[in-house]
Structure 1
Amino acid sequence: MNEVLYNIEELEIRTCLQLVQVFGNDNIQRCANLKTLILRDLPKLTHVLKNIDQITTITFSNLVDLQVHGCHGMKILFSLSVAKNLVNLNSIEIFDCKEMKSIVIEAAAEENSEIIFKKLTITRLHNLPKLASFYNGKCKLTFPLLETLEIEECNEMEIFSNGIISIEEGKDSVLGAPYPKPFFTHKVSFPALEILRIDGGNSLEMLWNKNKPIASSFCKLREISIENCNKLRCMFPWSIVKSLAFLETLNIFSCELLERIFETEKRSFATEEEENGEIVFNRLSRLEFDNLPSLLCFHSGKCTLKFVALNFLKIRRCHDMKTFSYGITNTPNLQAVEIGENEVPVSPTKGINDIIQAFFTQESINNKLLSPTNNSASDTSL
């Protein structure tokens, strides 16, 4: 039996209703070759490892795939010491754990150290109603190969990693007023991230820091999908715009307070670049906005927006959006525009602003013609 444990590479445990922990100090070393660990429907499970801060560095060093579903007794997944040794971990999938508060927890402050998830490419966190953060400590997190990050129905999650919020991150650059915490700070690095999906982040107020660019992060993003984040007011600050050179698809749905997609900094005066510069999206081909009742515009500045590859634009249930941008918008390859339930004709002589404004002007005229007052007047004249 011991020989079997020493050589085991895949372990799946399902529907063991009384199981409290998977490994103890007496058997963990026998699973040093474990590559796949799947834990499903274990409602009383509280620990993968009970004494998580008193184990040797060999623990889980070969683990590649981790799946945890329906383990409602678990509040944390790993300690910092274990996380630092997950050198081969390729994917994390944590679903439907009602009490989970953090994926990685720090028992003692290690402010100047760094956790590197060297091989992690996919992270999916779904339906974790008490999750506050991925990591609760102050170390820097680096994900050099992470390509996909999905966070769904984690409504208490305000920040990905607590880290340290600098003075620049915590205060308004003009008024000194407190900013909400950015979800992604400079203490987290995603140089290879391609797909970012967040659905159901009701505690999320700001995605990126407004004043401090995140060096080498998010520069490979191809797809961004944000949905049901009802405290979010702005998607992107000016500081991150030039990092989105690979962005192809942007979908934003059902964010009640969202007013702008891109926002210039709040200063007493705009910089020359913000006023007269140009933002070029070379690969962005698809934009979809739906059910954003507070959305006023795509961009609040006056610089030129150039969408080299944009061919499809959909705007639905965004009733306050009367203009796309306050500067020039160039869309040489735009083929289809949908506003509401209507497909709007695209003309090479008209920009997006012209198309949107013409649509809402016509809609206003139609609404007046159909109003009860006009109908009564018509009936009287007849």
Structure 2
Amino acid sequence: MATILPQLNSLLITEADQLEVIFGHSSEDDTNNGEIVLSSLGKVDLTNLPNFMTVCQGLQIQAQLSDIWIHNCPKFVDSSLGRALQQLGTISVSTEDSNVQISSNVEEQLPASEEKGMILISRAEYLHIWDSISLISVWEGPTFIIFQNLKELYVNDCSRLKCIFPSAVIRSLPCLSHLDIDYCEELEEIMSSEHHFPNAYSSHSFCFPQLETLSVFGCRKLKWLFPSLPSAQHLPQLKYLRISWCSELKGLFNGELEVHDEEGSNNNMLPMLRDLQVDDCPNFSKTTLAALQRQQQQNEAKDGDDDD
């Protein structure tokens, strides 16, 4: 039997120290015989829930979540965020022929998704993860996932996280406009430099065509922002670049764009850049910084000419 809550559009739970399950059973006989239909639910905010482990215990969930905030829920976001996204019903399965099957019980779909051509799709548009000290990975293979609708991603104070998008995440994020990474002290890569992708999503798809804001603060082990990005052409809309307190950071791309020292040699490396901040990054390439500053000045001058 289904439990239907058609008017519920947001769910906020905070400071519930003993909460372990949101939707459970009244008796053992109900186990695996019901589902929760949340047809209007768009936002979930889970904050400071030290014992929270699961959304639906033995139940299926149907939801269309787009806005997810998870703050200090260590047992819910354990080693991988992927399990949490599955429990929230934000992942569906796509086959090679684009036959998308919306699944309310993704955990049962996962073994089948290992078949050739299967890709998992996240419907999340706004994703905020804060104070998840146990989080090591956003997604764990062997299946692939694509965040095709993701617009904003905030990752703050995840001290054990080593990679934002590991090798099992498809590299094209066509809608991502804002990426904010703060105080992830063990972070080594934003995007994995490994290549294990299906042919349809090969490394040439690695791009952020809508990314406008990139902020990285306090990630002391990060050496390159995009070590395997072949060119800045994959960041055509980047306007705001803010980097601070990244003591090992050397530069942006770990490639040819970092090595030239001639005036104008890096023209158009970030053609929309308007706001540049690089502070307390002692190993950041002086050549790259100078090129970025020139690009910003040229863009500002162009803006001034357009205003005249």
- Normalising to structure 1: TM-score of the pair? 0.56
1:236-279 per-position Cα deviation (integer Å, ceiling 9, x unaligned): 4461411111111111100011223343259xxx99xxx97854
Judging changes above 3 Å, is the alpha-carbon distance between structure 1 residues 111 and 224 closer, same or farther for their aligned structure 2 residues?
farther
Number of the residue aligned with 2:146:
142
Report 1:208-287 matches (<5 A): 208=191, 213-215=203-205, 217-237=207-227, 239-264=230-255, 278-287=267-276
Shift of 1:292: 1.0
Report the 3-state secondary structure (helix = DSSP H, G, I; strand = E; otherwise coil) of the residue aligned with 2:215. strand
Shift of 1:131: 0.4
Report the 3-state secondary structure (helix = DSSP H, G, I; strand = E; otherwise coil) of the residue aligned with 1:137. coil
More relative contact order in 1 or in 2 (CA 8 Å, sep 6+)? 2
Shift of 1:65: 4.4
C-alpha contact (below 8 Å) 2:207/2:235 kept by paired residues: no
Report the 3-state secondary structure (helix = DSSP H, G, I; strand = E; otherwise coil) of the residue aligned with 1:242. helix
Where structure 2 has 5 or more consecutive residues not aligned to the other structure, the ranges are: 94-99, 196-202, 304-308
C-alpha contact (below 8 Å) 1:230/1:255 kept by paired residues: yes
Distance in 2 between residues matched to 1:72 and 1:193, nearest whole Å: 26
C-alpha contact (below 8 Å) 1:260/1:298 kept by paired residues: no
Q: Report the structure, 1 or 2, having the larger strand content.
A: 1
Report the 3-state secondary structure (helix = DSSP H, G, I; strand = E; otherwise coil) of the residue aligned with 1:189. coil
Report 1:111-260 matches (<5 A): 112=116, 113-118=118-123, 120-164=124-168, 187-208=170-191, 213-215=203-205, 217-237=207-227, 239-260=230-251
Which amino acid letter does the alignment assign opposite residue 44 of structure 1? N
Number of the residue aligned with 1:291:
280
Number of the residue aligned with 2:62:
60
Judging changes above 3 Å, is the alpha-carbon distance between structure 1 residues 16 and 300 closer, same or farther for their aligned structure 2 residues?
closer
Q: Does 1:46 align with 2:37?
A: no
Number of residue equivalences: 264
**Aligned residue among 2, 5, 8 for 1:7:** 5
C-alpha contact (below 8 Å) 2:65/2:89 kept by paired residues: no
1:20-56 per-position Cα deviation (integer Å, ceiling 9, x unaligned): 22223638846313515444444322221234xxx55
Distance in 1 between residues matched to 2:215 and 2:108, nearest whole Å: 28
Distance in 1 between residues matched to 2:252 and 2:163, nearest whole Å: 20
C-alpha contact (below 8 Å) 2:55/2:87 kept by paired residues: no
Judging changes above 3 Å, is the alpha-carbon distance between structure 1 residues 67 and 245 closer, same or farther for their aligned structure 2 residues?
closer
Report the 3-state secondary structure (helix = DSSP H, G, I; strand = E; otherwise coil) of the residue aligned with 2:38. coil
C-alpha contact (below 8 Å) 2:121/2:146 kept by paired residues: yes
Distance in 2 between residues matched to 1:208 and 1:163, nearest whole Å: 8
C-alpha contact (below 8 Å) 1:193/1:221 kept by paired residues: yes
The farther-off stretch of 284-293 and 72-81 is 72-81
C-alpha contact (below 8 Å) 2:219/2:245 kept by paired residues: yes
C-alpha contact (below 8 Å) 1:206/1:232 kept by paired residues: yes
Greater gyration radius: 1
Number of the residue aligned with 2:21:
21
C-alpha contact (below 8 Å) 2:163/2:192 kept by paired residues: no
C-alpha contact (below 8 Å) 1:197/1:225 kept by paired residues: yes
Distance in 2 between residues matched to 1:105 and 1:133, nearest whole Å: 21
Shift of 1:128: 0.8
Q: Does 1:333 align with 2:301?
A: yes
Shift of 1:296: 3.5
Number of the residue aligned with 1:172:
none
Distance in 2 between residues matched to 1:224 and 1:46, nearest whole Å: 32
Distance in 2 between residues matched to 1:125 and 1:278, nearest whole Å: 36
**Aligned residue among 37, 46, 59 for 1:32:** 37
C-alpha contact (below 8 Å) 1:78/1:105 kept by paired residues: no
Report the 3-state secondary structure (helix = DSSP H, G, I; strand = E; otherwise coil) of the residue aligned with 2:84. strand
Which amino acid letter does the alignment assign opposite residue 186 of structure 2? S
Which amino acid letter does the alignment assign opposite residue 290 of structure 1? D
Report the 3-state secondary structure (helix = DSSP H, G, I; strand = E; otherwise coil) of the residue aligned with 1:299. helix
Number of the residue aligned with 1:373:
none
Distance in 2 between residues matched to 1:9 and 1:29, nearest whole Å: 19
Distance in 2 between residues matched to 1:162 and 1:105, nearest whole Å: 23
1:47-75 per-position Cα deviation (integer Å, ceiling 9, x unaligned): 21234xxx55xx22344544444434323
Provide the aligned C-alpha RMSD in A: 4.2
Report 1:314-325 matches (<5 A): none
Distance in 2 between residues matched to 1:19 and 1:209, nearest whole Å: 35
In percent, how many aligned pairs have the same letter? 21
Where structure 1 has 5 or more consecutive residues not aligned to the other structure, the ranges are: 90-103, 165-184, 312-329, 336-382
- Normalising to structure 2: TM-score of the pair? 0.68
Distance in 2 between residues matched to 1:105 and 1:130, nearest whole Å: 25
Report the 3-state secondary structure (helix = DSSP H, G, I; strand = E; otherwise coil) of the residue aligned with 2:222. coil
Shift of 1:14: 4.6
